[in-house]
């Protein structure tokens, strides 16, 4: 009987005298279970809820006579997703960059195909029916005047994306072009707002004046873009190899590239992410840039805190160089491309 009593006490001991430390450590699990149960309960209530309308149903809008409204489309969402993948590829680098570029191109081509189908539908209707001429938009409808700003903003954004890839002056020109286009768009929007506000008094809504063709602005930014590409490629101004503060870049002689280490840059990524060098001894890195000629790279050495210890000269695509580095004390450092400081072009240099 005594053994049975002791067994019963042993059984209920965790309940009467629990291990509070273990229970507290499991508190997040209990809270997570409660949240999960609440979510499941909410889903169940929504699934079982019947239709209920507390107000009048919304009247479906009717397109005014003489206006064509394109149907619903997934193209803007797909284009936004493609642009997100491209920006993500610019950060990560490597294969994801080309996947993002392909996704954006395909989404824009799909948008173009939808636009062409919509245009063909409108054009077919226009050939069957006589053209309707009217003095202006229907009563109560304001149609914005023609504008070149969306096209200019798209060109500016394209230059900015190219600048994020190639860096240097191309990035500056792209940012400037996008800013100028957005400022012009803001100016047109304000002018339209003034016309709309005046209509509250006059009762007549006028469009802003038709814009002049932006040939001069496009020509200016076209010239700036060409100059920026030439500067990025190292053609303007003529440059000679400049030794760095704590290292130098010397052109590799004809034949095989020889260095203590060899690093290759391809599609905005280093082929090596870790290098181990001896402490207290100078070393060299043979650097091969296989990207296009306008894509500049280098291999700088930095402390873990970001301080630059060796600032090397940039190398154009399709060229090879042997970088020389001074001796370093034992520790962990970074070797990184200063033009594209992204994870794909960053590695760990261990000196011991």
Supply the DSSP string of 104-133, one letter for each residue: HHHHHHHHHHHHHHHHHHHHHHHHHSPPPP
Give me the helix-helix angle, 75-92 and 149-166, nearest 10°: 20
Q: In sequence order, what are the beta bridge partners of 308?
A: 302
DSSP 175: H
How high is the pLDDT of residue 247?
42
Give the whole-angstrom CA distance, residue 129 versus residue 329: 83
Q: Grade residue 217 by pLDDT with cuts at 50, 70 and 90.
A: very high
pLDDT in tens, 224-248: 999 988 877 667 776 444 444 444 4
Query: What 3 state SS string does 39-95 have?
Result: HHHHHHHHHHCCCCCCCCCCCCCCCCCCCCCCCCCCHHHHHHHHHHHHHHHHHHCCH
Question: Three-state DSSP class for 156?
Answer: helix
Query: Between 86 and 237, whose confidence is greater?
Result: 86
Phi, psi of 101 (to 5 degrees): -65, -40
Query: Between 213 and 1, whose confidence is greater?
Result: 213
Per-residue tokens: 325: 């580095």
Rounded average pLDDT over 50-69: 66
Give the whole-angstrom CA distance, residue 203 versus residue 191: 17
Please check the confidence at residue 252 and state whether its pLDDT lies above 60: no
How high is the pLDDT of residue 16?
64
pLDDT in tens, 1-19: 777 777 777 777 666 666 6
Phi, psi of 185 (to 5 degrees): -65, -40
Q: Where are the beta strands (DSSP E) in 101-252?
A: 247-251
C-beta atoms surrounding 18 within 10 Å: 10
Sheet containing 300-302: order of strands = 274-277, 346-351, 331-336, 300-302, 308-310
Per-residue tokens: 347: 């590695």
Q: Grade residue 249 by pLDDT with cuts at 50, 70 and 90.
A: very low
pLDDT in tens, 322-338: 999 999 999 999 999 98
Per-residue tokens: 180: 């100028």
Give the whole-angstrom CA distance, residue 262 versus residue 259: 6
Burial of 145: CB neighbours in 10 Å, binned 0-12, 13-18, 19+: middle
How high is the pLDDT of residue 194?
86
Q: In sequence order, what are the beta bridge partners of 331?
A: 351
pLDDT in tens, 118-141: 888 776 665 555 555 556 666 666
How high is the pLDDT of residue 241?
42
Q: Grade residue 51 by pLDDT with cuts at 50, 70 and 90.
A: low
Distant-in-sequence contacts of 116-124, Cβ < 8 A, 24+ apart: 118/70, 118/71, 122/68
Per-residue tokens: 348: 């760990």
């Amino acid at each position: 009987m005594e053994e049975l009593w002791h067994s019963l006490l042993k059984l209920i001991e965790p309940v009467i005298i629990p291990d509070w430390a273990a229970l507290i450590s499991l508190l997040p699990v209990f809270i997570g279970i409660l949240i999960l149960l609440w979510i499941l309960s909410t889903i169940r209530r929504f699934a079982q809820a019947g239709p209920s309308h507390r107000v009048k149903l919304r009247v479906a809008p009717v397109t005014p006579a003489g206006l064509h409204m394109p149907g619903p489309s997934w193209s803007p969402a797909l284009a936004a997703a493609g642009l997100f993948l491209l920006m993500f590829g610019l950060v990560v680098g490597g294969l994801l960059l080309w996947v993002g570029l392909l996704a954006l191109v395909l989404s824009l081509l799909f948008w173009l195909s939808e636009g062409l189908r919509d245009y063909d539908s409108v054009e077919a209707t226009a050939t069957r029916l006589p053209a309707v001429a009217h003095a202006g938009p229907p009563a109560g409808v304001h149609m914005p005047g023609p504008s070149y700003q969306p096209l200019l903003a798209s060109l500016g954004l394209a230059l900015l994306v190219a600048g994020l890839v190639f860096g240097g002056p191309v990035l500056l020109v792209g940012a400037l072009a996008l800013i100028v286009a957005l400022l012009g768009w803001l100016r047109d929007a304000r002018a339209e707002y003034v016309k709309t506000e005046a209509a509250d008094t006059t009762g007549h809504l006028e469009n802003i004046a038709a814009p002049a063709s932006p040939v001069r602005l496009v020509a200016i930014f076209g010239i700036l873009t060409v100059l920026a590409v030439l500067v990025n490629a190292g053609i303007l101004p003529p440059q000679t190899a400049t030794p760095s503060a704590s290292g130098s870049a010397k052109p590799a002689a004809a034949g095989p590239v020889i260095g203590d280490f060899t690093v290759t840059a391809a599609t905005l990524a280093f082929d090596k992410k870790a290098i181990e060098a001896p402490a207290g001894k100078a070393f060299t890195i043979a650097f091969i840039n296989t990207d296009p000629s306008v894509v500049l790279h280098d291999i700088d050495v930095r402390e873990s805190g970001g301080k630059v210890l060796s600032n090397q000269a940039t190398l154009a695509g399709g060229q090879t160089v042997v970088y020389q580095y001074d001796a370093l004390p034992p520790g962990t450092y970074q070797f990184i491309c200063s033009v594209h400081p992204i994870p794909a072009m960053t590695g760990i240099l261990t000196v011991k």
